[in-house]
Every structure is written in structure tokens, then in C-alpha cells.
Amino acid sequence: MNLVKYLIALFIFTFSFILTFATFTFPSRAEDSEHIMRSSFATTFQIDFEGIKEVYIYRPQTFRFVTRVIYQKPDFVYTEYLEPDQLKGKIIIDDGKRRIEYLSVEDRTRILPSFNHPQMETLREMALKVVLSNFKISFLSREEMLGREVYVFELSPKNTISPSLKLWIDKETYLTLQRETYGPGGEPVFFFRYIEVEFNKEFSREKLYEKIPQTAQIKKEPPLVSYFTEKEITEKLKFPVCFPTYLPPGYVFQAGELTEEKRDVKLIYTNGLEVIVLFQRPRVNIMMRHHRWVRTDKMRIRYVTGPYGSTLVWDGEDKTFVLMGDVPVEELIKVAQSVE
Amino acid sequence: MKCRWSKENLSAYIDGELNIITGWIIKRHAKFCPECQKELNELQKISKLSKLLLIKEPEFDFYEQVREKLQQVKIAQQEKPEIAAERKSIERMWTFLPQSGKAALLVGVAALLFFLVIYPQIFPAPSLSIEQFEEEYLRSRETLPWVESPALSATLMSAERG
Amino acid sequence: MANSDESLIRRFKNGDEESFKELVKRYQARIYSIVFAMMGDKNDADDICQEIFVKLYRSLYQFRGKSKFFTWLYRLTVNTCINAQNGRKRKLQTISLSHPVGESEQSLVEFIEQDGENCSIDILKNKELGMKINSAIDCLSDDLKEVFILREIEDLSYRELAKILQCSEGTIKSRLFRARDRLKEKLLPYINNS
Ligand SMILES: [Zn+2]
């Protein structure tokens, strides 16, 4: 009799143990991983936060940057470079309307359209979809980092040319606290982690703006950027637009941009992490140094490969094309050949 | 013994630089000596591959670049008296020009400047540098949520360093 | 009907600038290849090549025609390269987006070029071999390198090489033998499985 009771107790105990364990590891379910991914994309616009971030870029040689980052709801981002010396004092303020980049060493300012304005949200949403379809997301573990609980995820590409990622995502706010990026060959490409974090901090924006000298705060408005679909571009343009029929695995059309004269087109394709950009405009001579040539039956292409991918330049019948992207150059050549 | 001699001459043999008799001896020897035959094949392969690799083409506008450089050299070298003489003749022309001619010339120059400012696109488009495309590319790249802005900085930094 | 070098030079001396253009077009690829191989760097090759043709332009008036024109031009080329090498410290590598990261990949596409019609992107995969050959050539001492490069690019006879490099034909023969011997030593493991 006692034995039966004992067995029942054991059963209940194991069952409840499994249940709790299962809830602890809940991100193993696909839609939960997806939810976390989605939240992490938008999180920088939902927190008041200050942190010190350490960034490494491994190509072609190792660069190390240290930045102070401040996020303020709903669309304010402040970045200040602390290291290296050449960039010390460089400040970027993006308030959702415009983006001011102040380079202290040269006392020079650049005004750009904001990276956080509402139209960007659509682009971000799209990038997320592309990421979700291009990568297999697996939950690796729960860890502790900077005294906070984090989920560790791995994103492995479903094709052979994309990088793979490891993410450390804060459980409470979904902010990515660390990320490692590896190239298709497994070589480290990029790495960042926060070394200090402080959540729910109050700031005065004015104080932050004061860090940029008044002389540098030109009232100039940034150039207007609008994004169009493929169809809109074809209709708006003064000359027929060429689209590539081949794209590297995982890449889809993101958006097109036009200059004000509607003569230059910029087509942007993305795999969620990187972009391939195709510029086309009436024939022009493009100065390019140190390039090499590829000759195919149809065309002669000039190209160079640098730390952020390759650049191809070639002339069509009455147009000049520039193609840039961070994929193997063979892939870009295929894209170029498919442009019609 | 013969092999060593043969090997020393293989290089000249593939260049076709041996006299008929020596060439014939090497050819015969290699036919029956697998070791020399192998070495001959290797040398030919290296020579063929090196040829492929070494031959390059300069930029398509190489001649124009040379012309430009020549022009610079010429200007730098031009004897001063010549320039002075030219200037004098222009001055003389100016003084001999009737008042109406002077006025027409000035109006012409002013009109040219005016159009240059208002309609820059009328005039032959200057060549564009690839850098502005690169900047645009990096801007598109950095608008993606997972791309960090140091990308552009690293490029700028290295350009400075270069 | 192609003009001979000599007739182009004659016309140039009589003030015909077009004939200089023809000379440049005729020799630019060959000179460029030689300079590139000697210097092992694209930036240097561009500058030095221009320098050579500027020198040519200015000294062509003095060309007497005692030797063949190309012998004379190649000697000018080799000397300019050697002077440049002596006078130049290796520059810091620049890495802007439009600058190639390593020279190693360089040869690959030229590889494609040479292949003309069969040019397929697959050849790009032959990267490693190309890099190995390039670095092996780069490692040769200057006197071996110059004779090897001139021979392979131009298919010059030993007699012509001797004139250009101002040494005996015997020296040319032994230098070429030594150069190829060194290359073979370095490349043997790679060429047999290609
Ligand atoms: Zn033998």
C-alpha cells in the first residue's frame, strides 16, 4: 500500500518538475523565438537606457570601437565614440527627424535623414520577415550577463553565402546585449557586447545636444528620402529602369530611391542583415582606382573588393551601373549579368 | 650524369634556345627517362600558368592618363618667355578690340557663368567618383536594424590613414 | 596595314602626335604587365607605367634606331622599376571600400580575361594556385625576377634579353634555369594536383 502512495507521489513530483522545466525553457517553441526576435528588433525604441558598448570589426583587419549609447523612448538615439582616438568625440544624434553626425576631430557636421523615422519602421518590419525566412532560429541557453538574465539564440542561414549569428537577448527588455557574427566559412566578422548597462535612466535631451558645438548645429534640413516599390519606380522614372533577374540566395527587393531629378535610381535588396544596392543613371564616367576587370560575353565589368563587400561598375547601352554588396564577388557578377 | 646535364638544359629547351643537336638529345633523353619527362612537364606547366597570371591590362583610359600627365609636365616645363609673349599678345588684342567688342566679350563670359550656375546639367557631366556611391551604399546598409554604424567609420578611418 | 615601330617613331619626330598614341596602345599592356609583376602592387604599377611613357615621350626624339625600339623601351622599363623599388619604402596599405584588400585576388580575374571565351567564374576558385604562383615569383631575387618576367610575358629570345639586361646570353640561360628551379621547388605540391 505504502509503495503505491510512494509511486503516486513520485509521479506527481516528476510531472510537476517537467512542467516547471518546460516553462523555464519556453523559447524553444518556434513562435516564442519569433516573438523575442521581433521584440528585439523594435526594443531600442521602447526603452530609456544608457550603456557602454564595445564593438569589433574583423575585416580586413581588426578595428575596435567603444561607444556610449543612449536610447530614449520613442525614437531618440545618441551615440558617442570613446575609442579609438581618431574618432574620439564623434557624436551621432538621431531624433527621429534628422540625424546629425558630428566629427569632432575635423569639426565637421553631416545631416542625414533619420534612421528612425516612421517610414523606416516598414523597412525594419520587412527586414525582420526576411530574417525569419532566411535563418533557422534556435534557442541555445539561458545565461547571466551584466547581472541580468539573457536568452542565447543562434541564427543559422538556410543558404551557403549568408553569415551566421549568435545573440544574447535581455529577458526583460529584449535588448540585444551581445552579438557575434560569423562569415560563411565560420570566420568571425563582427562582434559587439555591452560592458556597462543602466536601464530606466532619465536624460535631458538639451544636455546631450549641448555636446555638439552650436556652430555645428546647422538648421539645414536633411535631404528628403522616399522609398518606392518596383512598380512605383518604373512609373515615376524618366527612363526605363533595369532590374536584375538573378539575386543571391536569401535576397529580396527592399525598396527603391530616386534623386530629385528622377534620373538616378537606387535599388536596394536585402537578406535582412545586409544589402545589395544597384545604382543606375544616364551614362557617366565613374572614376575608380585600383580596380580589376572581368569580361563576359556581353560586358566588361570593373570591380574592386574591400572590407564591406565588392563594387562593380559597368556601362550599358545608354546607362552606367554600379552594384555593391557584401556577398562573394562571383554572386555579384551573376547579378550584374542578369540586369535587363 | 646525363640526367643532371639534361635537367640543367630543360629550361633552355622549353624556351627553344638550344641548338638543333642539343635539343634533339634532350628530347630523346626525356622520352626514355621518366624523371626528366616529369620535370619537363612541371616546368612547362609553371611557365604556362605564370604567363596567364603575369599578363595584365592597364585601365581602359590609360592613354588619357598618360596624356594628362604629359600635359602637366609640359605646363611645368614651358619656358617663361613663351608664356609672357602669349600674354602680351592677348593684352595687345584686348587693347585693339573696339569698345563694342569688349562689351560683347564680357556679356558672353557673364552669360556662360550664369548658365553654369543655373543649369549645370547643360554642360557635359563631370566624372563622378565612386566614393559617393559607396557612401550611399553604407547608408542603406546602416539603416538595417542589425548593422552598426562603425562600418562607415572604419572605412573613413582607413581612408584617412591611407 | 600596321605601321612598324620605326615608321611610327619617324612620324612622331615629324610632329605627328597620333603616332605616339599608337605606340602607347601597342605597348601599354605589355609594359603594364612587366611593371605590375616587378612591383607586385597595383598602385605602384599605375604610377610607374605612366612615368615610363612620359619618359618615353620626352626621350623619343633622341632615339637613334641603333637597337630595336622594344629593346630600348624594355630597358627603360626595367631600369625605372628598379629605381622605383630602391627609392620607395613600402607604403601603408589603404583599405577604403574601393581599395582591394589584398593583392592576392588580383590575378584571378585577369586569369578570366586571358581565358577569353571560356571565361567562367569557376576559374575564380583557382584562387589559391594563383596566389601561390604570384607569391613565389615575388620571392625571387631581383635579377632572377626581371629575366623571368620578361621571358614569360614577352617571349623574348635570350639574345634580346641579353641586350635589354646588358649581360651575356649564358647569364640569361643560367638565371632562367635558377628562377624556374626556385619556382618549381615552391610550387611542386600545388601544380601536380591542379
Ligand atoms: Zn633523365
Q: Is the pLDDT of residue C103 over 50?
A: no
Pick among 3.40.50.620, 2.50.20.10, 1.10.1740.10, 3.40.30.10: CATH of A30-219: 2.50.20.10
Give ipTM to 2 decimals: 0.79
User: What's the confidence (pLDDT) of residue A6?
Assistant: 78
Nearest CB to B138; choose among A81, A90, A308 = A308
Beta strands in chain B (DSSP E): 128-129
Q: A137: which residues sit within 8 A by CB, 6+ positions away?
A: A30, A33, A34, A37, A153, A154, A155
Mean pLDDT of B97-110: 84
Nearest CB to A305; choose among C43, C101, C110 = C101
- Model confidence at A13, pLDDT cuts 50, 70, 90, reads low
Q: Which residues of C touch B8 (CB under 8 A)?
A: 177
Say if strands A286-287 and B128-129 run parallel, antiparallel, or are unpaired: parallel
Considering chain C, what percentage of its residues have pLDDT values greater than 90?
24
CA neighbor of B149 nearest in space, from C89, A63, A128: A63
Q: A164: which residues sit within 8 A by CB, 6+ positions away?
A: A135, A154, A155, A156, A157, A181, A182
Q: Which residues of A touch C97 (CB under 8 A)?
A: 304, 306-309, 311
Q: Is the pLDDT of residue C58 over 80?
A: yes
CA neighbor of A336 nearest in space, from A307, A299, A306, A308: A299
Say if strands A275-282 and B128-129 run parallel, antiparallel, or are unpaired: unpaired
d(CA A91, CA A213): 11
User: What's the confidence (pLDDT) of residue B76?
Assistant: 67
Average pLDDT, chain A: 82
User: What's the confidence (pLDDT) of residue C87?
Assistant: 63
User: What's the confidence (pLDDT) of residue A253?
Assistant: 92
CA of B6 relative to ligand 1 center, distance in Å = 6
Q: Is the pLDDT of residue C77 over 90?
A: yes
Of the listed ranges A36-50, A109-123, A176-190, C56-70, the one predicted with least confidence:
A109-123
Quickly list DSSP for A302-330: EEEEETTEEEEEEE-SSEEEEEEESS-HH
User: What's the confidence (pLDDT) of residue C91?
Assistant: 36
Cβ contact C164:C193 at 8 Å = no
CA of B37 relative to ligand 1 center, distance in Å = 7
Q: Which chains touch C (3 or more CB pairs under 8 A)?
A: A, B
* Cα-to-chain-centroid distance, residue B130: 16
Interface size, chain B vs chain C, as Cβ–Cβ contacts under 8 Å: 126
Of the listed ranges A89-93, A304-308, C19-23, the one predicted with least confidence:
A304-308
Instruction: Read off the pLDDT of residues C166-177 as tens digits, 9 standing for 90 and up.
Output: 899 999 999 999
Write the single-letter amino acid at C85: Q
- Model confidence at A326, pLDDT cuts 50, 70, 90, reads confident
Residues within 8 A of B (CB atoms), C 152-181 only: 152-153, 157-158, 173, 176-177, 180-181
Instruction: Read off the pLDDT of residues A216-270 as tens digits, 9 standing for 90 and up.
Output: 555 666 666 778 888 888 887 767 888 999 999 989 998 888 876 667 889 999 9
Mean pLDDT of A130-154: 90
- Whether residue C128 lies within 8 A of chain B, CB to CB, comes out as no
Contact A290 C117 (CB under 8 A): no
- Count Cα atoms within 13 angstroms, Cβ side, for B123: 11
User: What's the confidence (pLDDT) of residue A96?
Assistant: 82
Q: Is the pLDDT of residue C161 over 90?
A: yes
- Model confidence at C31, pLDDT cuts 50, 70, 90, reads very high
User: What's the confidence (pLDDT) of residue B157?
Assistant: 53
Q: C146: which residues sit within 8 A by CB, 6+ positions away?
A: C38, C78, C81, C82, C165
Residues of chain A with CATH 2.50.20.10: 30-219
Instruction: Read off the pLDDT of residues A192-230 as tens digits, 9 standing for 90 and up.
Output: 899 999 998 888 888 888 888 766 555 666 666 778 888
Cβ contact A218:A109 at 8 Å = yes
Residues within 8 A of C (CB atoms), B 19-58 only: 39, 42-43, 45-47, 49-58
- Model confidence at A150, pLDDT cuts 50, 70, 90, reads very high
Query: Of the ranges A233-242, A269-278, B71-80, which is most confident?
Result: A269-278
Mean pLDDT of A28-43: 77
- Whether residue C92 lies within 8 A of chain B, CB to CB, comes out as yes
Cell numbers at residue A256, please?
527603391
Exposure class string for A54-69: b at 16+ Cβ within 10 A, else e: bbbbbbbeebebbbeb
Cβ contact C9:C69 at 8 Å = yes
Contact A304 C100 (CB under 8 A): yes
- Whether residue B12 lies within 8 A of chain C, CB to CB, comes out as yes
Cα distance from B141 to chain A (closest Cα, Å)? 6
Q: Which residues of B touch C183 (CB under 8 A)?
A: 46, 50
Average pLDDT, chain C: 76
Fold of A230-338: Phosphorylase Kinase; domain 1 (3.30.200)
Residues of chain A with CATH 3.30.200.100: 230-338
User: What's the confidence (pLDDT) of residue B145?
Assistant: 66
Mean pLDDT of A311-335: 89
Q: Which residues of A touch C91 (CB under 8 A)?
A: none
Quickly list DSSP for C97-125: TTS-S-GGGHHHHHHHHHTGGG--GGGGG
Residue A243's SS3 state is: coil
CA neighbor of A314 nearest in space, from A290, A295, A289: A295
Residue A47's SS3 state is: coil
DSSP letter assigned to residue A261: T
Element (H, E) at A151: strand A148-157
Supply angle C-alpha C16, C17, C21, rounded to 5: 125
Nearest CB to C94; choose among B11, B55, B162 = B162
Mean pLDDT of C94-114: 35
Contact B153 A190 (CB under 8 A): no
User: What's the confidence (pLDDT) of residue B161?
Assistant: 44
H helix intervals, A25-152: 30-42, 118-134
Contact B160 A112 (CB under 8 A): no
CA neighbor of A305 nearest in space, from B76, C101, C60: C101
Mutation test of the interface with chain C: which of A287, A289, A296, A334, choosing the one with the most C Cβ atoms within 10 A? Answer: A289
Residues within 8 A of B (CB atoms), C 60-89 only: none
Question: Rounded to the nearest 10 degrees, how much is the dihedral formed by the CA atoms of C63, C67, C68, C69?
Answer: -20
d(CA A63, CA B151): 10
CA of B32 relative to ligand 1 center, distance in Å = 8
Contact C50 B66 (CB under 8 A): yes
- Whether residue A86 lies within 8 A of chain B, CB to CB, comes out as yes
Cα distance from C48 to chain A (closest Cα, Å)? 14
d(CA B31, CA B51): 26
User: What's the confidence (pLDDT) of residue B93?
Assistant: 76
Q: Is the pLDDT of residue C126 over 80?
A: no
Nearest CB to C98; choose among B53, B59, B130 = B130
Residue A40's SS3 state is: helix
Interface size, chain A vs chain B, as Cβ–Cβ contacts under 8 Å: 98
Of the listed ranges A59-63, A87-91, B109-113, the one predicted with least confidence:
A59-63
CA of B33 relative to ligand 1 center, distance in Å = 5
Q: Tell me which chain C residue has its CA closest to the CA of residue A330.
A: C121
Residue B149's SS3 state is: coil
Cell numbers at residue C18, please?
597620333
Cα–Cα distances (Å) from C73 to B12, B40, C57, in that order, read 25, 32, 11
Cα four-point dihedral sign C6, C10, C11, C13: positive
Of the listed ranges A226-235, A261-270, B22-31, B76-85, the one predicted with least confidence:
B76-85
d(CA A318, CA A309): 27
More confident residue, C119 or B158: B158
Q: Tell me which chain B residue has its CA closest to the CA of residue A257.
A: B140
- Model confidence at A302, pLDDT cuts 50, 70, 90, reads confident
Cα distance from C134 to chain B (closest Cα, Å)? 8
Question: In the beta sheet, which residues pair with residue A306?
Answer: A309
Q: Which residues of B touch C133 (CB under 8 A)?
A: 46, 49-50, 53
Mean pLDDT of C31-56: 87
Count Cβ atoms below 10 Å from residue A337 Cβ, excluding itself.
19
Supply angle C-alpha A254, A259, A262, rounded to 5: 100
d(CA A257, CA A237): 11
Cα–Cα distances (Å) from B16 to A118, A236, B5, B30, C163, in that order, read 73, 66, 17, 15, 18
User: What's the confidence (pLDDT) of residue A234?
Assistant: 82
User: Chain C residues contacting A, CB < 8 Å?
Assistant: 42-43, 46, 95-102, 105-106, 109-110, 112-113, 117, 119, 121, 124
First to last CA, chain B: 56
Exposure class string for B85-107: b at 16+ Cβ within 10 A, else e: eeeeeeeeeeeeeeeeeeeeeee
Q: Which residues of C touch B17 (CB under 8 A)?
A: 157-158, 173
Enumerate domains of chain C plus CATH numbers.
1-93 (1.10.1740.10), 98-138 (no CATH), 140-194 (1.10.10.10)
Average pLDDT, chain B: 77
Exposure class string for A275-290: b at 16+ Cβ within 10 A, else e: bbbbbbbeeeebebbb
Sheet holding A76-83, edge to edge: A108-113, A98-103, A91-94, A76-83, A63-72, A49-57, A188-199, A176-182, A164-170, A148-157, A135-145
Cβ contact A87:A105 at 8 Å = yes
Cβ contact C39:C131 at 8 Å = no
CA neighbor of C75 nearest in space, from C61, C55, C90: C55
d(CA B154, CA C95): 9
CA of A187 relative to ligand 1 center, distance in Å = 47
Question: In the beta sheet, which residues pair with residue A311?
Answer: A304, A324
Contact B57 C110 (CB under 8 A): yes
